[in-house]
Structure 1
Amino acid sequence: MIGYQAFADLSRSSDSNERGHTAHLAAMAYLGHRGPADEHAALYAALIGFLDDPSVKVRAALAYGLLHSPEAPRPIILALLQDSPVISRAVLQYSPLLVDADLMPIVRGGDASALLAIAQRTTISPRIAAAMVARGDQALTLRLLRRHDIAFAPDLLEGLAMSEGGVAALRGALLGRPDLPASARLLLVRRVAEGLRECRMVKGALAPERLERILRDGNDTAISVIGEAQCTDLEFVDRLVANDQLSTRLLLHAVVTGHVLFFSACLASLGAVTREKVYVLLESGSRPALNALFIRCGLQPAIALLFVRMIMHARSADLSDDLAARHYVVTALTEELLAEHDGDIPLEMEEAFTYLSEQNVALARQAARGVMRAFAESRDAVLPLPEPAAPRLQLPAA
C-alpha cells in the first residue's frame, strides 16, 4: 500500500529510478484496479503523464507494466509504439492490443529490427505474414515459414516454391510445412533432385546410369507419396494428367509401392470414372472388367493385361508395408513375361519390363540386407565351405 500523496511525490521525484518504479506501480495498479471510478481515472491520468517523462527508463518501466495485458489502455500502447526503438520493439512483440491495421504501416516501411519483433509475436495473421514475406527478406521469410502456427495462402506458398526453391534453407522450411500444396511440394522435390544431380560429391560416388536410375525412382516415389497424402485433392492428379506426367512406369511404381489411393485417383482421372467405381473394380473386379478399365484409361492392350496380372497378385499381398510381398509380385510378373514371350519382350512392353527388372534388383537388395546377420545371430553351427580345388596349370602368355 502507498498513500496518494506519497505516490504523487514519487512521480515528481528527480530520481529517474524512483519515477520508473512509480510508473510501473501505477501500471500494475491500473490493471488490477477494482475501486472507485475517480481513483481509476486518476490512475489513467498518471499513466498519461508518464508518457511525457524525459527518461526512457521511466517510459520503459511503464511499457513493461502494460504491454502484456489485453486490459491496457489502447491510447497509451499506441503512444508507446511511437516511442524509442527499444520500447517500440517490445510493444510490437508482446502487446495483444495491436491489430493488423496498427502493424501494417510498420510492416511496409519499418526497419529490420521492427520486422523481427513482429515476427516473434504470439499470433500473426495471414495478412501480416504475407506482407512481411513481400518485403523479400530471406531471413525473415525463413523465420515465418518455420512457424507452423502461421497460416499462409496456398498461392503464396506455391509462389515461394517457384521463386525461392533454389535456396536450400527456404526449400527445407517449405517442405517441412504440412499445409504446402501438393504441386509446390512436387516442384521442390524436383529441385532437390536437380541439386543432387549437379552435386560433385554425388556425381563422384555414383555411376551416371545408376544416379539417373536412383533419381528417377525417387521422383516416382515422391509423386506417389504426395499423391497418396493428397488423395482428396483432385487438382493434383488432374494437373499430372493435363501435363502428360502419368507414365506407365509411374503407374507401375504406384502399385508396387502400395500407394493404392493415388493409383485409383489416376485411373479415375484418366478414365473419367468415379473413384468409388475404381475402388470396387480394383478390390473385387473380374479380369475382363479390370482390362476394360485399363483400356478405357488409354493403356495399350499388352500393358492393360500386365496391370490386370499385377492387381491379381497384389490382392493377396500388402504392398504398402511388406517388402517381401513387393519382391514376390515383381519377380512373379517378370518371370511370367519372360515365359510368355520366350525372352523376346515386345517393343510396347519394354518400358514396363525394364522397370520391373530394375525393381527386382532393388527389392532383392533391400530384402537381403541384414538377413545373414540375423541368421548368424540365431545359429551356432559352422558354415561348411567347399574343399579348395587343385591349382590349375598356368601357361605363360605367348
Structure 2
Amino acid sequence: MVAYHEFVSLSQSLDSEERGSAAHLSALAYLNHTGPADEHAALYAALIGFLDDPSVKVRAALAYGLLHSSEAPRPIMLALLHDSAVIARAVLQYSPVLIDADLIGLVKTLDVAMLVSISQRQRISARLATALIARGDLQLTQRLLRRQDIELPSALLTGLAQSHGENPAMRGALLARRDLTAATRLLLVQKVSDALRQTRIVKGALASDRLGRVLRDSCDTALSAIGEREAGKAQPDYVAALILGDRLNTRVLLHAVVTGHVMFFADCLAELAQTPRAKVFALLESGSRPALNALLARCGLGEGVRNLFARLVMYARASDLADDAGARHYVVTALTEELIAEHAGCIPEELEEAFAYLSEQNIVLARKAARGVMAAFADETRSAMAVSLDGPAPRLALPAA
C-alpha cells in the first residue's frame, strides 16, 4: 500500500526511475480500482499526465502496466501507439484494446518492423491479414501464412500461388496451409515440378527423358491424391475444374485406379457421365461387365479404352491397390500381357496412350515390389542361402629364384 503523499512524491521526483514506478503503480491501481468514482477519475488524470513525461522510461512503465489489459483506456493506448518505436511496437503486438479499424489505417504507413509486431498479435482477422499481405513484403507474408489460426480468403491464397509460386519459401508456406483449395494446391505442385526440372542437381542425376517420366508420374499421383481427399469431402468442384481445364485424360484415370485412389476415379466417372456418385460406386463395387461398359460409354470413352477400364475394375475388386505394390505390379503386368495377346502385338491407336502408361508403370512398380521381397524372405527363413560365399582357392606362390 502506497500513501497518496508518497505517490505524489514519486510522481514529482527528479529521478525517472521513481517517476516510472509511480506511472506503473497508477496503471495497476486504475485497472484494479474498486473505490469511488472520483478517485477513479483522479487515477485516470494521473495516467494522462504521465503521457507528457519527458522520459521514455516513464512512458514505457505506463505502457507496461496497461499493455495486456482489455480495460486499459483507449485514448491512452492510442497515444502510446504514436510514442517512441519501442513502446509503439509493444502496444501494436499486445494491446487487446486496439481493433482492426485502429490497425488497418496504420498498415499503409508503418515500416516493416512495426508491421511484424502487428503480425505477432494473438488474434488477427482475415481483413487485417489481407491488409498486411497487401504491403508486398515477402517475409511478412510468409510469417502470416505460417499462422494456421488466421483464416485467409481462398482468392488471396490463389493469387499468392500465382504471383509468388516460383519462390520456394512461399511455396512451402502455402502448401503447409490446411485451408488451401485443391486447385491451388495442384497449381503449386506443378510449380514444384517445374522447379525440379530446372534444378541443376536433379538434371544432372537423371537423363532428360527419365526425369520427364518421373516428374509426370509424380504430378499424376499428386493430382489423384488431391482428388481422393476432395472426394472424401464430397467436393465435385475439383473434378469439374479438371475437366474444364482439359486435365483429365486416359492416363490420369488409369493412374487413379492403379494408385488406389478409387474415390477420385468414381468422382471422375460420375462427373463425365453426369450420373449420381452413389450409382457409380455401386457399379464399380459390384456391377456386371455390360453395366460397367454402359457407364464408361456415357463418359465418352472409346470401345477399346472401355474394355481396358472394365478389366482394370475387375482386377481392382480382388486386389489391394492402395497399399500393396506387388498387387499393383501384378495387375499392370496382367493388363499389359492381355493387350499384347489380344491385339497380336499391334496396339490400336486409341490404346497407345494407355499402353505407354502401363509399360512405364510396369518398370516402376517392378522396382517397388522387388525392394521388399528379399527383406520379407529374410524375415521368414533362417536357413543359409544356397550360394557359395567362398572365394577361389588361393594360388601357390613360386619361391623366389
Give the TM-score category using the shorter length: over 0.9
Paired residue type of 2:273? G
| Identity between Structure 1 and Structure 2 (%) | 63
In the alignment, the residues of structure 2 paired with residue 29 and residue 114 of structure 1 have an alpha-carbon distance, to the nearest angstrom, of 30
In the alignment, the residues of structure 1 paired with residue 86 and residue 355 of structure 2 have an alpha-carbon distance, to the nearest angstrom, of 68
In the alignment, the residues of structure 1 paired with residue 39 and residue 327 of structure 2 have an alpha-carbon distance, to the nearest angstrom, of 80
Aligned length: 388
Paired residue type of 1:140? L
Structure 1 residue 263, shift from structure 2 partner: 0.9
Cα distance, 1:387–1:296 mapped onto 2, change above 3 Å: farther
Structure 1 residue 374, shift from structure 2 partner: 4.2
Paired residue type of 1:383? A
- Answer yes or no: is 1:357 the counterpart of 2:368: no
- Answer yes or no: is 1:307 the counterpart of 2:309: yes
Show structure 2 runs of 5+ residues with no match: 392-401
Summarize deviations over 1:201-260 as a string: whole Å, max 9, x none.
111111111111101101100110111112233222111101211110000000111111
In the alignment, the residues of structure 2 paired with residue 321 and residue 330 of structure 1 have an alpha-carbon distance, to the nearest angstrom, of 15
Hey, what does 1:393 align to over in structure 2? none
Hey, what does 1:14 align to over in structure 2? 14
Summarize deviations over 1:342-379 as a string: whole Å, max 9, x none.
32222211111111121111111011114324434542
Structure 1 residue 387, shift from structure 2 partner: 12
Paired residue type of 1:49? G
Instruction: Report 1:370-389 matches (<5 A).
Output: 370-376=372-378, 378-384=381-387
TM-score between the two structures when normalised by the length of structure 1: 0.94
Paired residue type of 1:382? M
RMSD of equivalent CA atoms: 1.7
Do 1:106 and 1:114's aligned partners in 2 also have CA atoms closer than 8 Å? no
In the alignment, the residues of structure 2 paired with residue 368 and residue 318 of structure 1 have an alpha-carbon distance, to the nearest angstrom, of 17
Hey, what does 2:146 align to over in structure 1? 146
- Answer yes or no: is 1:117 the counterpart of 2:120: no
Hey, what does 1:269 align to over in structure 2? 271
In the alignment, the residues of structure 2 paired with residue 387 and residue 34 of structure 1 have an alpha-carbon distance, to the nearest angstrom, of 94
Structure 1 residue 146, shift from structure 2 partner: 1.0
Q: Secondary structure at the match of 1:109?
A: coil
TM-score between the two structures when normalised by the length of structure 2: 0.93
In the alignment, the residues of structure 1 paired with residue 68 and residue 162 of structure 2 have an alpha-carbon distance, to the nearest angstrom, of 39
Structure 1 residue 85, shift from structure 2 partner: 1.2
Hey, what does 1:243 align to over in structure 2? 245
- Answer yes or no: is 1:259 the counterpart of 2:261: yes
Q: Secondary structure at the match of 1:230?
A: helix
In the alignment, the residues of structure 2 paired with residue 291 and residue 374 of structure 1 have an alpha-carbon distance, to the nearest angstrom, of 39
Structure 1 window deviating more from structure 2 (333-342 vs 374-383): it is 374-383
In the alignment, the residues of structure 1 paired with residue 353 and residue 75 of structure 2 have an alpha-carbon distance, to the nearest angstrom, of 72
Instruction: Report 1:21-32 matches (<5 A).
Output: 21-32=21-32
Paired residue type of 1:235? D
Hey, what does 1:391 align to over in structure 2? none
Cα distance, 1:27–1:272 mapped onto 2, change above 3 Å: same
In the alignment, the residues of structure 1 paired with residue 243 and residue 338 of structure 2 have an alpha-carbon distance, to the nearest angstrom, of 30
Hey, what does 2:218 align to over in structure 1? 218
Do 1:124 and 1:150's aligned partners in 2 also have CA atoms closer than 8 Å? yes
Paired residue type of 2:23? A
Hey, what does 1:392 align to over in structure 2? none
Summarize deviations over 1:134-172 as a string: whole Å, max 9, x none.
111111111111111111100000000000001110011
Paired residue type of 2:29? A
Q: Secondary structure at the match of 2:135?
A: coil
Hey, what does 1:162 align to over in structure 2? 162
In the alignment, the residues of structure 1 paired with residue 300 and residue 196 of structure 2 have an alpha-carbon distance, to the nearest angstrom, of 34
Hey, what does 1:102 align to over in structure 2? 102
